[in-house]
Amino acid sequence: MWPIIFDFGEISILGLEIHPVINSYGFMLMIAFYSCYYFLNKDLKELGYDPKLAADIIFAAALGGILGSKIYYLIEHFDRVKADPMGMIFSGAGLVFLGGLIGGTLAVTYVLKKNKLQWFKFADIVAPLLILGYAIGRIGCLLVGDDYGKPTHLPWGISFPDGLPPSTYQIFQTYYPWVNLEGFDPGVLTVHPTQIYETILGFGIFYFLYKKRKSVTVAGSLFFTYFIFAGSERFFIEFLRVNTRYLFGLSGSQIISLGMIAIGLWFLTHPVSAPQEEPSEK
């Protein structure tokens, strides 16, 4: 774990004591957004669009994504919010990707509509970047000790004694009572490093989608392929994670992931005809 990259210590400014730090999760989010901006700006320049458009899209995705992911996290952990509302709301943890996908999509849709741009065409352009940002963000989760999996005795299991929350026997008993702790002793537990699993899978999906981006023949097909891959990846990883189970033993993320897979399959087999952009839009 490396939750703090650099600690500036106590600093006095005009009589006000502050303690600034560079948080590893926030730093990885910044890396994720700048990486996505680099690839998006590169592709939009090749297509002849205004370079400012890439910044507008990334800013909207960042703002909508962070708000959406935090709201989703607070809803999913409402019991903990009632116990510690300020701590949960302002915690550096809890940026759930599926909530971020919804919030980011709504925000980017606003930008595209404002600029009268073709939604499905741009969905294909940003599809590889969605999973790239996700993969980089998962590195931040690993560094801060968040979003880990169930306890395991496997040799690559990792313990998070200072995680958010710590991976202790007591924490699992208190917050995740549905997790089977048979065979584990009280104390700090080693858990599945699902952040690493998802980072590896995310980079692999990004590579596949990015290589295919210039061979798209049906508008929206790459975006809905992303839906299938991202939904499948998250659905199966959830079996190793500790999120609350709601329906048929499935977590909220798994239910949404099944919806993503279904939507992706439907639109790949029932493609929509996208309207043409006006020449003045570029």
Could you tell me which residue, 74 or 23, shows the higher pLDDT?
23
Percent of the chain with pLDDT over 90: 62
pLDDT value, residue 11? 86
Instruction: Give 282's pLDDT tier (boundaries 50, 70, 90).
Output: very low
Q: What is the pLDDT of residues 195-212, one digit of tens each?
A: 999 999 999 999 999 999
Q: Report the mean per-residue pLDDT for the chain.
A: 88
pLDDT value, residue 264? 96
Place of tokens 């919806």: 259
pLDDT value, residue 3? 82
pLDDT higher than threshold 70 for residue 65: yes
Please name which of 19, 22, 20, 18 lies closest in space to residue 3, comparing C-alpha atoms.
22
Once rounded to an integer, what is the mean pLDDT over residues 150-160?
Answer: 97
**Strand ranges, E, within the chain:** 4-7, 11-13, 16-18, 21-23, 158-159, 190-191, 245-247, 250-251
pLDDT value, residue 36? 94
Per 3-state DSSP, the chain is made up of helix, strand and coil in percentages (nearest 5) of: 60, 10, 30
**For helices 119-144 and 97-114, what crossing angle results, to 10°?**
150
Give the integer Cα–Cα distance in Å for 207 and 80: 38
Q: What is the torsional sign of CA 247, 250, 253, 255?
A: negative
Give the integer Cα–Cα distance in Å for 256 and 98: 8
pLDDT value, residue 91? 60
Q: What is the pLDDT of residues 113-123, one digit of tens each?
A: 999 999 999 99
pLDDT value, residue 206? 98
Could you tell me which residue, 52 or 97, shows the higher pLDDT?
52
Once rounded to an integer, what is the mean pLDDT over residues 214-242?
Answer: 95
pLDDT value, residue 95? 57
pLDDT value, residue 190? 98
If phi over 0 gives left and psi between -120 and 50 gives alpha, with beta otherwise, what is residue 249?
left
For residues 91 and 80, is the Cβ–Cβ distance under 8 A?
no
CA triple 15-19-24, angle to 5 deg: 155
